[in-house]
Amino acid sequence: MHVLFVHQNFPAQFGHIAAQLVKRDGWRATFVSQTAPIAGQTQTAGIDRVTYTLKGGAKEQNHYCSRTFENAIWHSHAVFEALAARPDLQPDLIVGHSGFGSTLFLSELYPNVPIINYFEYFYAPRDSDMDFRNDFPSIPLDSLRAMARNATLLLDLNHCTAGYSPTTWQRNRLPKQYHDKVEVIFDGVDTNIWKPMPTMPRVLQNRLIPETTKIVTYATRGMESMRGFDIFMKAANRISKRRKDVLFIIAGQDRICYGGDARHTGGKTFKEWVLAQEPYDLGRFWFTGLLPPTDLANLFSLTDVHVYLTVPFVLSWSLVNAMACEATIVASDTGPVREMITDSETGLMCDFFDVEAMADKIEAVLDRPSDYAHLGPNAGQKVRDHLSLDVCLPKLKDYYSQVAGRPRTT
């Protein structure tokens, strides 16, 4: 079986899947992306690499609401041209991320090859990430753009042979008439990487943390309101003023990946803006920057309490990775999280906005760890039983094989 994976970035959602299909099952995998391989390298973990180059994109003259679609067309055409230049590539199946539009034209190049699209998020102006935080309101034009941003997803939903989403919550955001066309299959966590690590001595990035120090952690790709960075910092600040035995460790970059926080910060980064809102004893906070997987797994293993917050949006991989490492988790009681965390069984849930309640729950774990000692192992077992790569990869392989055998109907 030869699978052609398509994504703007590498490895993204497909790199680890492609590598395992090559390694475990002897499949052939080609990955086309805008991300170029290391100079002179034509393969990565046995995956053939093809790079596409954009020749244009949306301009300021384009309507604000149509720029996403304009960019998607440029990506789709670039993917088409890159693969047209490789007539030696004849895949049995195409798997691509929907939203970038990058598989849109491939049925013209490979008219008999089935296409699976990965559907991550369907935008909506209400009951969504856009209106959840009234303290960081969207501009009216964003509500209009949300509907227009779905244009490429709707084209893919109509055009693809089949699709899948990583969680039921994400699949259910799609229009109901497409639910039967889209399976729910999680990406899979590599439990060879994300697993409990030795916690003694307590060392992270060559820094020794005393055994008497409690550790509260937060991990993010970018520090932003959509992932509740400001809410976590407020809760942490309250705890830091009440007790002196806690070190707060924040892993991630000082950048905004999602949302319009830059409109509200007056030229500051969101981290800078948050730290300016109230006085912090920064000696109690350790900003590690972006951590490689091994260090992040170490952090999740060391922590006494890990905090995960999100508005109704795509679930972060970091939550499931922390679960796999058997961290004791305090998480926001929001739609995407409820699918992973059962309150008092695999973690503790709290209202996203209730800073005091969040601080109290964190402190309860710090004060009475034995009362909550079951949460981390239960979370880890849930990952191993339902969300690990060992469980999810066979499901994906079977789904890919099943769809590869279907004739194209569009």
Report the candidate in 135, 83, 85 with the shortest Cα–Cα distance to residue 104: 83
Residues 6+ apart with CB under 8 A from 140: none
CATH number listed for the domain at residues 203-387: 3.40.50.2000
pLDDT at 410 over 60: no
Tell me what the pLDDT averaged over the chain comes to: 95
What digits encode the pLDDT tens for the residues 67-114?
A: 999 999 999 999 999 999 999 999 999 999 998 889 999 999 999 999
Q: Do domains 2-188+389-404 and 203-387 have the same CATH topology?
A: yes
Q: Which CATH number fits domain 2-188+389-404: 3.40.50.2000, 3.20.20.150, 3.40.50.620, 2.170.190.11?
A: 3.40.50.2000
Q: Is residue 259's pLDDT more than 90?
A: no
pLDDT digits (tens, 9 = 90+) for 336-365: 999 999 999 999 999 999 999 999 999 999
Section 293-299 average pLDDT: 96
On the question of pLDDT at 409 being above 70, the answer is no
Q: What percent of the chain has pLDDT over 90?
A: 91
Token reading at 215: 């550790």
pLDDT at 325 exceeding the cut of 90: yes
Return the axis-axis angle of helices 15-25 and 389-404, rounded to nearest 10°.
80
List all residues 6 or more positions away from 376 whose beta carbon is below 8 Å from its beta carbon. 326, 327, 328, 329
pLDDT band at 273 (very low <50, low <70, confident <90, very high): very high
Domain positions in the chain: 2-188+389-404, 203-387
Per-residue pLDDT tens over the stretch 218-234: 999 999 999 999 999 99
What pLDDT, in 10s, does the model give residues 30-64?
999 999 887 767 788 899 999 999 999 999 999 99
Distance between CA 275 and CA 258 in Å, rounded? Answer: 19
**pLDDT of amino acid 232:** 98
Beta strands in 298-369 (DSSP E): 305-308, 329-332, 348-350
pLDDT in tens, 177-216: 999 999 999 999 999 999 999 888 999 999 999 999 999 9
- Report pLDDT for 44: 86
Strands 162-165 and 115-118: parallel
Q: Which pLDDT belongs to residue 55?
A: 96
Could you tell me what percentage of the chain is helix, strand and coil, using 3-state DSSP and rounding each to the nearest 5?
40, 20, 40
